[in-house]
Amino acid sequence: MSSATAKESFMPAPAQNAAALPWLAETAAIEKDKAVNWVKALRATGAESFARTGLPTLGWEGWQYTNLRPLSSVKFHYSADAAVFDASRLPAPLLDSYRIVVVNGQYQPKLSSLPKSVTVQSLMDAATGHAQGLEDALVRVGDLAQVPLVALNSAYLRDGFVLNVAKNADVDKPVEVLFFNTGNDAAIYPRVLYRLAENSGATIIERHLGMGSYFTNIYTAIAQESASRLRYYRAVNESGNSFHINMAAVQLQKNAQFEGFSMATGGKLTRQEYQLQLLDKDVCCSIGGVYLINGQESHDFTVLADHFEPGGKSAQHFRGVLDDQARTVFQGKIYVRRSAQKTDGYQSHHALLLAPTAEASAKPELEIYADDVKCSHGATSGQIDPVALFYLKSRGIPEQAAKALLAEAFINEAIEQVTLEPLRELHRARAAQWLAERHT
């Protein structure tokens, strides 16, 4: 199959979505790969599913507030060729850390450094090597018809990497994963797998950067075995002409601990989705984030914490500041199954609007079938407290500086969740810089 027209053979024409076919035209670039059978099958299944559905519209459950129509205004192109770039232009590491470099979705081993307790392979090398459990971890994505962008990612299954942390190993320094995109209207579809073996621990810091116009559609799988510990941080600072879609599926076994946090600035449209599955007893899981957006930027946090077994704890803490005509969405859900007694779940989202034209939408949910739980949620949005602003002004602080101080205090309450102190301080500095730029 060498073109979008060939994709018509997947199904009868009436079942196809005509708008979907151009997105699949360049799957021909990877169909000649010597991929193992399960990879080929997943590609075909993803392409067939996306050919039926196309991109989610505002009528889709979970997409009511995030409009993907601007994606269709640019013709993005996928390339299977090796990424061409100037390594000297890559940013320096944020902290003293190990490093994995990914350019246009492609793992760059010559620019990466790791300890002996961590192994990394490109996605296709790992698949060819028949790594134990790899197929199960990468294919377990649910009903692709319900997640069209994951189906599209599956249709282009080729780029990305697999990271494994050995049993009983504690990685002594953070591992920074730099995702750098070179623009040129590129379509980028990496798939990433982080696997932590029993009683292992690691800190992973993802940085998402780029220049120019591009579309990134990432699927991230995280598999934590019993008693493993992961701190998973994202810093999303994409180009102003970029579209960033990232879905993370996290599976947590008995006594596993997961701390996730994302700081998002920049990007024309960004959606970060987390599906957290607390599969066994006594799992502790927290996820949080902050967004700082302005202009006509749009950001969407969508989170599901799914409790399967007793004694699980989950927390969701999100805050954001919006200026100009920016739009933000928070969709958070705690789902407690009948067997998940003694669940402790908490969820909150608070948005601060610096302009009357900014818009914040929130949809917090609790769905509980167990009868011995402690769960709560809350969501607010509003402008700067005029009483607090008057107090600071009465102490001689200029109005614009006073607004920046109040907004900084607001956002820092969420940044406090980051337990890695050097990164926490970097986030604070970045927030202060962003707010100062708005109020000078």
Q: Is 428 exposed, middle or buried (0-12, 13-18, 19+ CB in 10 A)?
A: middle
Residue-level pLDDT at 218:
97
Whether residue 413 is contained in a domain is answered as yes
Angle between the 37-53 and 148-155 helix axes, to the nearest 10 degrees?
A: 140
Whether residue 154 is contained in a domain is answered as no
* Ordered per-residue pLDDT tens for the chain, 440 residues: 334 434 444 555 557 788 899 999 999 889 878 888 889 999 999 999 999 999 999 999 999 999 999 998 899 999 999 999 999 999 999 999 999 999 999 999 999 999 999 999 999 998 887 666 677 777 766 678 889 999 999 999 999 999 999 999 999 999 999 999 999 999 999 999 999 999 999 999 999 999 999 999 999 999 999 999 999 999 999 999 999 999 999 999 999 999 999 999 989 999 999 999 999 999 999 999 999 999 999 999 999 999 999 999 999 999 999 999 999 999 999 999 999 999 999 999 999 999 999 999 999 999 999 999 999 999 999 999 999 999 999 999 999 899 999 999 999 999 999 999 999 999 999 999 999 887 65
Token code pair at residue 161: 């990497």
- Concatenate the DSSP letters of all residues of 14-76 into one string: GG--TTTHHHHGGGGGTTTS---HHHHHHHHHHHHHHHHH-S--TTSTT-TT---GGGGGS--
Residue-level pLDDT at 72:
86
Residue-level pLDDT at 251:
95
Contacts of 386 (CB under 8 A, 6+ apart): none
Residue-level pLDDT at 440:
57
Which DSSP state fits 7? G
- Concatenate the DSSP letters of all residues of 360-396 into one string: EEEEEEEEE--SS-EEEEEEEEE---HHHHHHHHHTT
Whether residue 153 is contained in a domain is answered as no
Whether residue 43 is contained in a domain is answered as no
Q: How many angstroms separate the CA atoms of 170 and 277, rounded?
A: 23
Q: How many angstroms separate the CA atoms of 433 and 430, rounded?
A: 5
Number of compact structural domains in the chain? 1
Whether residue 88 is contained in a domain is answered as no
Whether residue 377 is contained in a domain is answered as no
Whether residue 87 is contained in a domain is answered as no
Chain length of the chain: 440
Local structure of 190: helix, strand or coil? coil
Q: How many angstroms separate the CA atoms of 159 and 123, rounded?
A: 6
Token code pair at residue 352: 């601060």
* Predicted model pTM: 0.94
Q: Is 19 exposed, middle or buried (0-12, 13-18, 19+ CB in 10 A)?
A: exposed
Q: Provide the residue range defining the domain that includes 432.
A: 384-440
Whether residue 433 is contained in a domain is answered as yes
Q: Which helix (H) or strand (E) holds 237?
A: none
Q: How many angstroms separate the CA atoms of 391 and 131, rounded?
A: 62
Residue tagged 């932590």 (tokens): 196
Contacts of 281 (CB under 8 A, 6+ apart): 254, 255, 309, 310, 311, 312
Token code pair at residue 69: 């129509």
Residue-level pLDDT at 1:
38
